[in-house]
DNA sequence: AGAACGATCGACT
DNA sequence: GTCGATCGTTCTA
């Protein structure tokens, strides 16, 4: 199965965050394949970014994963009850990562729905807000701190250019799409970094 | 040891 | 639009 190699992650974080849009994230869970098309990311760069956990190379038990080799999964607990998944970028020792913010479901939708909503009835509201947030994505993929540090070149969690690269049916890609950049969500405390246009979304053209 | 806070979400007005 | 849930991480002392 053709997946992104370590070399992909070993690049500038802003470039990686943009390049991840449209790619297919694959999660293997109990032999089943869960997958989604990446449609929203954010960049976090420890060297220069006060919103990054590892700003100014701050090294703690939590941020240790950000110093790992590129192509490592950085997963942390936020607000005491949700998790966020990041893809570590840049050469080892440069603490930086792309945060996964949203997916379009590609495979394993039934399982993802159950992980996210249990037996609650599916409403239009829930359909619309299925995978459009970092905590939601981690819930639907059953990712917690247990998976922190996973190697993205392994078999449990990885990224492909297209669903076919993981043996999945093709995803109907919209004819016209563009990338929208804007300020990141939830980093108002981060002084000048709050305004960095480091949030990237893949949106359909009108 | 204690306190403050957070890369969120869903319920509610 | 507002607000509370909930707890690990981090810093202070």
Nucleotides of B under 7 A from a protein CB: 5-10
pLDDT at position A1 is 74
Output the average pLDDT for chain A: 97
- A61 CB-to-strand C distance under 7 Å: yes
Smallest CA–C1' distance to C8, residue: A80
A191 CA, B6 C1': Å apart: 15
Percent of chain A with pLDDT over 90: 99
Average pLDDT over residues A49-64: 98
Contact A139, A111 (CB under 8 A): no
pLDDT digits (tens, 9 = 90+) for A145-194: 999 999 999 999 999 999 999 999 999 999 999 999 999 999 999 999 99
pLDDT at position A206 is 78
Q: What is the secondary structure of A137-177 as a DSSP string? A: HHHHTT--GGGTT-BTTSSSEEEESSGGGGT-PPP---SSE
A88, β-bridge pairs: A97
Q: Which residues touch strand B (CB under 7 A)?
A: A 42, 44, 51-54, 66, 74, 77-82, 84, 86, 97, 99, 116, 129, 133-137, 184-187, 189
- Among A128, A121, A71, A73, smallest CA distance to A102 is for A128
Residue owning tokens 């991840």: A20
Q: How would residue A64 be classed by pLDDT, with cut points 50, 70 and 90?
A: very high
pLDDT digits (tens, 9 = 90+) for A107-149: 999 999 999 999 999 999 999 999 999 999 999 999 999 999 9
- A101 CB-to-strand C distance under 7 Å: no
- A59 CB-to-strand C distance under 7 Å: no
């Amino acid at each position: 199965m053709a997946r992104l190699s370590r070399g992909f992650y070993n690049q500038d974080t802003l470039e990686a965050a943009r390049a991840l849009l449209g790619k297919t994230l694959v999660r293997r869970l109990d032999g089943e394949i869960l997958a989604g098309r990446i449609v929203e990311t954010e960049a976090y760069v420890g060297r220069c970014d006060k919103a990054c956990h590892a700003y100014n190379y701050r090294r703690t038990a939590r941020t240790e994963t950000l110093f790992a080799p590129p192509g490592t999964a950085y997963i942390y607990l936020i607000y005491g009850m949700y998790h966020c998944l990041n893809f570590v970028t840049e050469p080892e020792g440069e603490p930086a990562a792309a945060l996964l913010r949203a997916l379009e479901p590609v495979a394993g939708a039934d399982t993802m729905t159950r992980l996210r909503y249990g037996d609650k009835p599916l409403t239009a509201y829930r359909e619309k807000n299925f995978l459009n947030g970092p905590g939601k994505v981690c819930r639907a993929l059953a990712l917690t701190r247990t998976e922190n540090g996973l190697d993205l070149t392994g078999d449990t969690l990885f990224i492909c250019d297209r669903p076919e690269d993981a043996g999945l049916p093709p995803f109907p890609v919209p004819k016209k799409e563009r990338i929208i950049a804007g300020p990141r969500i939830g980093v108002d405390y981060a002084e000048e970094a709050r305004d960095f246009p480091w949030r990237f979304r893949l949106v359909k053209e009108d």
